[in-house]
Structure 1
């Protein structure tokens, strides 16, 4: 009898312990489920906040682009008038203007040209970002694009006492938009000459390599501080050393180059060291 009682007590204890454990397990499961639901709810709220923030940023960026395009268009008309009247004055008879007045006109013309370049850069970037900057691909010889750019920048380089060298093995056929590629070369060479001091050199190399047309523009100029190189393709970015030395510029040239190169399915990379020079390498599909 005593053994049976002990067995019953043992069995009752076992059942009670099992029930207690099951109850504890159930509570823990419920707690974990509630924690998971809370986490999921917080994740969903975070996702919604992120989506709202991204939508606001896109709207702000679109508004900024529209604003820049509108202002640029509005500036074009008075600037065209200013430039026109400056040219009329510069074409006056030699005895109608003094030397001092002619120097003033040169300053006006130079700054009008800089403002016009800024406006054109802003409009180009606005068209690119809004999808209105369409490429018209055709057969292009990169060697000829380089030749045109060197011919155009040659007088500027000579005036700045900067040596200009070309190492081009043409023809270099590729499929692209010749006008846009002219813009890329003009921007890259213009930057290279502008940021290179007198007696420095700018070298342009172009060749085919592994199914790609490779363009390299290298200079011996002031270079770019390493800490700032990540921002090179950001709109309106200007290196601090360029600002200190009062080198003029819009900070849009490389941003435009990158957009155009992207449109052509290519890549653009910059290697630079302060006071040692900068090398820009563009790779474009050759077919």
Structure 2
């Protein structure tokens, strides 16, 4: 490899691949010495601390930095960092070239690339720290809230059942509203707990043979209290069983969330359809509505953690942005996926796909594996996968 190719590879490594600030600084000092034929080189952070050296120890570099005239020629160029200005320094000895204007200009250009690499790592570390803090917050908040909400839920149930005395009509209405709100809060807490488990790798599935029709029915029953007079929820189920091997409770949660979203994002009412079908080894639950729809530029946000598509029509609607994120992750853990097709102003169609089970389903079943492979291959984001089969 020529010197030029080696330098190009080193620059690419600095800008893209080097994982830590310490490694970038070490490699930057090494290549500064090699590139400019210097005797030594070192990198100084914004606090004035020598963080990397090549051809010189740190104590000597610190001395040269504070008294550059004592030994040999030292050239330093700035490193523009988020926390302030650092320095990239090279040292000329008795038998090394004198650094002229051209060499200093090249060193400045090299220092700019080093700065970019250091900034990349800083941003990456900050993003990782934010994600870790989010997970810690989810854990703490969800577990701290779970106990009080459980107590409140119990007392509200006792009020509704008359165990704490008979309520008048207005009291019964108030208890019903409280029960609905406590239920909403409990769902949010469960989403937070599931998200934290998922991030920590502690989420496990209990899979068993199940009829997808029954899971869809159970999910529809769960969201029935949310259906208002202006909505019409239609269950379109086949006569024959749709056998799947899934975690039934978590699959019910996925479908219930899709139905809940369909109701929430159809403030003007309309028909909400939950259709279950099985074809070519793939079982599908399709939830469609006639609501607000999703703008095209919002599609990439849909399945991200805490991702919500905010528009003037939806900014007043409540939500954590965890439901679809969890739903897709849970579907993929079961060999499936969730896809979406939507037209803004006309409604959306979300499709949950899962591998269909059969009496002969097992490790050697080629049809079942082919179905899983088809779903992994998938279709472009935002397209209803039925078009891809």
TM range (shorter): 0.7 to 0.9
In the alignment, is the contact (CA less than 8 A) between 2:331 and 2:338 conserved in 1?
A: yes
1:44-93 Cα distance to aligned partner (Å, 9 max, x none): 66445433432332222112111121011111122222222223333338
Q: Which has the higher helix share?
A: 1
1:165-221 C-alpha deviation (Å, 9 max, x unpaired): 314364333333222211111111122233335661122223233432232111112
Could you state the TM-score of these two structures normalised by the residue count of structure 2?
A: 0.56
Tell me, in whole angstroms, the C-alpha distance in 2 between the residues paired with 1:186 and 1:99: 30
Question: Unpaired segments of 5 or more residues in structure 1?
Answer: 1-31
Once structures 1 and 2 are overlaid, which stretch shifts more, 180-189 or 32-41? 32-41
Find 1:251's aligned residue among 321, 329, 336.
321
Matches of residues 25-44 of structure 1 in structure 2 within 5 Å? none
Q: 1:174 to 1:34 in 2, by over 3 A?
A: farther
Aligned length: 256
Partner of 1:76, secondary structure, is helix
> 8 Å contact 1:208–1:214 — kept in the other structure?
yes
Partner of 1:140: 210
Structure-to-structure mapping, 1:1-287, within 5 angstroms: 46-92=116-162, 96-154=166-224, 156-157=226-227, 161-168=231-238, 170-197=240-267, 200-234=270-304, 235-244=306-315, 246-286=316-356, 287=368
Report 1 or 2 for greater relative contact order, CA contacts < 8 Å, sequence distance ≥ 6: 1
- What is the CA RMSD across the aligned residues, in angstroms? 3.3
Gaps of 5+ in 2: 1-101, 357-367, 369-389
| TM-score, reference length from structure 1 | 0.74
